[in-house]
Amino acid sequence: MNLPGNHPLAAGLTSESALVRAFRGHPPRISGDLRHTPVWFMRQAGRSLPEYRALREGVAMLDSCLDPAMASEITLQPVRRHGVDAGIFFSDIVVPLLLAGVEVDIVPGTGPVFAEPVRTAADVARLRPLEAGALDPVAEGVARTVEALGSTPLIGFAGAPFTLASYLVEGGPSKDQLRARTLMHADPSTWTALMDWAADVTGAFLRAQVLAGASAAQLFDSWAGSLSLADYETHVAPASRRALSHVSDLDVPVVHFGTGTSELLVAMRDVGADVVGVDHRIGLAEANRRLGGTTPVQGNIDPALLGAPWPVLEAHVRDVLAQGAQAPAHVLNLGHGVPPGTDPDVLTRVVALAHGES
Amino acid sequence: MNLPGNHPLAAGLTSESALVRAFRGHPPRISGDLRHTPVWFMRQAGRSLPEYRALREGVAMLDSCLDPAMASEITLQPVRRHGVDAGIFFSDIVVPLLLAGVEVDIVPGTGPVFAEPVRTAADVARLRPLEAGALDPVAEGVARTVEALGSTPLIGFAGAPFTLASYLVEGGPSKDQLRARTLMHADPSTWTALMDWAADVTGAFLRAQVLAGASAAQLFDSWAGSLSLADYETHVAPASRRALSHVSDLDVPVVHFGTGTSELLVAMRDVGADVVGVDHRIGLAEANRRLGGTTPVQGNIDPALLGAPWPVLEAHVRDVLAQGAQAPAHVLNLGHGVPPGTDPDVLTRVVALAHGES
């Protein structure tokens, strides 16, 4: 199956955007002395924006994700404010689990907390697939957003199976995913069953966003950095490949990102990603070298620098841009999500810098 | 200054132990088919042992560290039980901060929490050096322990300046040391002053343990894995070197360890360590290759495997031993601390395996 004919990418509305061009490996357009590097920020829609905090007042996180009008408005806020080159759909990686019937809440200051951890073969057997129509609120939110965005591409996203499985096994966030990593070795068949379930649920979530109009997709494997390369390749990569297979027949570029993954960059690309997201721990020049010089990269402003004086941050961003220019293509981003306390004006200024306006 | 003549290492009591020999780069002794690889476990003294939990009942963590008899007894418990090749002095990396007058408590389930975070030049200026005699309870605890250990070496330890400074700036544990890493870039002179203070306090803590009889020393940089190599080298390594300079005139081997530090192994050795501790994310063979094949390594059983069935764990330990055998010398350990829920019998069995007894 290809993208529907009225999809923004198929219709040519976003295919020549700076973001999609970079994700497809094309160098940025240069007009005069101005080099326009596309830029967006992980967690750009969220707590750093006063208009977000106002809108979310009294609304629980997961409720806001499942309200198409609210999710759409939140997605649009940073695009309007900063002039970033893409929206990223406002949701949460646990949303598809919730829609598949898993009891989960997002506790402010903690993260997702599950009523019943999934730790045995019987626990895994109780997990249900997504029912028809379950993802409708997501698709509706995406469709509304895409219509409002016009020629600015929307990025759909999903959590990778390992990160979702880790949350499910631990019952919530954990420091080093110890229980999940024990299960992977102690009971590989239960682990594989859990990972395959997670791959299909999160893959369907990603596919729904793309079919509803997202022009690119990002898979977040937040916790992959706790794994050795050997464990990643044996116990994780097959399920990540399976998750991405849900969108592989649709012609949209896919980004794969995790933190602390400098040893895993090639393996994370090779599950089926077109672009590799890089965190702040390794320079983009070195990341590009490890990737063989053929893969577009995304990243990697150190979020800690957003709180430093502008000259310090500016020098850092210029260094990131210079290193990114060594790769076939570069989308500027942070090396992790926007910290909640970030001054939004700083992000706007970074966008101007990436667009060659300062 | 050299070690006092009655120091166990100077007196020859521990200098031929398997641990000290390995830390100095000598291969293990082999008798018949038995190859004795020295082994100890980070956090071997602690919550995994029922005798520890009984002794600590009703005693706050930092009080137990400052009670020489209790700290000594806790240190000895795992040596008696498991037959490990070394004791590691029971204390906490924040103990020297407490003894220097910093108000800190260890909150169960959270970690160290500071009454007043240190974030400005004025905050740093208020920090005081250790007063004479402040470390006496530590020295007394070590001296008691060393006497009881006889020919089994005691390892002294201390936290590295970056980890201590991160706690001080954040006011407690944090996910990615964001505030500390902001300060390092935003106000490098305040950062350096804080790091130098931490280096001297923690260096004095380490020196007190060595002078009181510890035959080796380990510097823990728990959070170094949140740093890029460039940031480590510029903003962290000088203070770690300064901390280790406090024991460099004493002829004891020094181990340097952090988690998520596969990119930093060489830099962490080059601040003055003899041995590099490796976490579970990278194989010892690869670590040895990165270190140029000339540095003894310590590690790196994945703590997650301690909860797996014995055949799975045994195969993993044998693989770690085989990889470690490629280095000039190898001390078996975990890739991180003993998880609190670990079955102590499993650790005893791992010791027997390392000692060629199973």
Give tens-digit pLDDT for A153-167: 999 999 999 999 999
From B180's Cα to the closest Cα of chain A, the distance in A is: 8
| B282/A308 Cβ within 8 A | no
SS3 of residue B325 by DSSP: coil
Residue B32 pLDDT more than 80?
A: no
The chain A residue lying nearest B280, using CA atoms, is A228
Which of A344, A319, A308 has its CA nearest to residue B181? A308
User: Touching check for B125 and chain A: CB below 8 Å?
Assistant: no
In the annotation, is A56 catalytic?
A: yes
User: Touching check for A302 and chain B: CB below 8 Å?
Assistant: yes
The chain A residue lying nearest B231, using CA atoms, is A281
Residue B30 pLDDT more than 80?
A: no
Residues 198-237 of A with CB under 8 A from B: 225-230
| B305/A280 Cβ within 8 A | no
User: Touching check for B165 and chain A: CB below 8 Å?
Assistant: no
| B316/A186 Cβ within 8 A | no
B120 belongs to a structural domain: yes
Cβ-Cβ contacts under 8 Å for A14 (sequence gap 6 or more): A8, A20, A151, A152, A153, A215
pLDDT on residue B109: 85
Q: Please, are residues B275 and B257 in contact by the beta-carbon 8 Å criterion?
A: no
| A280/B228 Cβ within 8 A | yes
Give tens-digit pLDDT for B315-330: 999 999 999 999 999 9
| B336/A304 Cβ within 8 A | no
Identity of residue A212? A
- Distance from CA of residue B132 to its chain's centroid? 25
pLDDT on residue B1: 59
In the set B81, B119, B144, B167, the catalytic residue is B167
What ipTM goes with this model? Answer: 0.95
Q: How many other CB atoms are there within 10 angstroms of residue A318's CB atom?
A: 11
Please provide residue B276's backbone torsions phi and psi, each rounded to the nearest 5 degrees: -115, 125
Question: For residue A12, is it left (φ>0), alpha (ψ between -120 and 50) or beta?
Answer: left
B1 belongs to a structural domain: no
pLDDT on residue A101: 97
Give tens-digit pLDDT for B85-130: 999 999 999 999 999 999 999 998 889 999 999 999 999 999 999 9
Asked if residue A6 has a cis previous peptide bond (ω within 30° of 0), the answer is: no
The whole-angstrom separation of Cα A326 and Cα B308 is: 44
B272 belongs to a structural domain: yes
Residue of B174, B178, B191 best to disrupt the A interface, most CBs of A under 10 A: B178
- A chain contacts of residue B259, beta-carbon cutoff 8 Å: 176
Q: Please, are residues A161 and A244 in contact by the beta-carbon 8 Å criterion?
A: no
A1 belongs to a structural domain: no
Give tens-digit pLDDT for A214-271: 999 999 999 999 999 999 999 999 999 999 999 999 999 999 999 999 999 999 999 9
Q: If you average pLDDT over every residue of chain B, what do you get?
A: 96
- Distance from CA of residue A200 to its chain's centroid? 17
Residue A358 pLDDT more than 70?
A: no
pLDDT on residue A34: 74
pLDDT band at B29 (very low <50, low <70, confident <90, very high): confident
Q: Please, are residues A306 and A337 in contact by the beta-carbon 8 Å criterion?
A: no
User: Touching check for A263 and chain B: CB below 8 Å?
Assistant: yes
Q: Are strands B275-277 and B297-301 parallel, antiparallel or unpaired?
A: parallel
pLDDT on residue B358: 59
Give me the domain span that covers residue B273: 18-357
pLDDT on residue B274: 98
CATH of the domain at A66: 3.20.20.210
User: Touching check for B309 and chain A: CB below 8 Å?
Assistant: yes
pLDDT band at A357 (very low <50, low <70, confident <90, very high): confident
B2 belongs to a structural domain: no
From A339's Cα to the closest Cα of chain B, the distance in A is: 9
pLDDT on residue A121: 97
pTM of the model: 0.96
Instruction: Give the helix ranges, DSSP H, for chain B.
Output: 18-23, 50-56, 61-65, 68-82, 95-99, 121-125, 136-149, 161-170, 178-186, 188-211, 229-231, 237-245, 265-269, 284-290, 310-324, 344-354
B349 belongs to a structural domain: yes
B113 belongs to a structural domain: yes
The whole-angstrom separation of Cα B180 and Cα A224 is: 24
Q: How far apart are the two ends of chain A, measured CA to CA in Å?
A: 43
Please provide residue A83's backbone torsions phi and psi, each rounded to the nearest 5 degrees: 70, 30
The chain B residue lying nearest A308, using CA atoms, is B186
The chain B residue lying nearest A183, using CA atoms, is B308
Handedness of CA A16, A22, A28, A34 (dihedral sign): positive
Domain count, chain B: 1
Mean pLDDT of B218-247: 97
B3 belongs to a structural domain: no
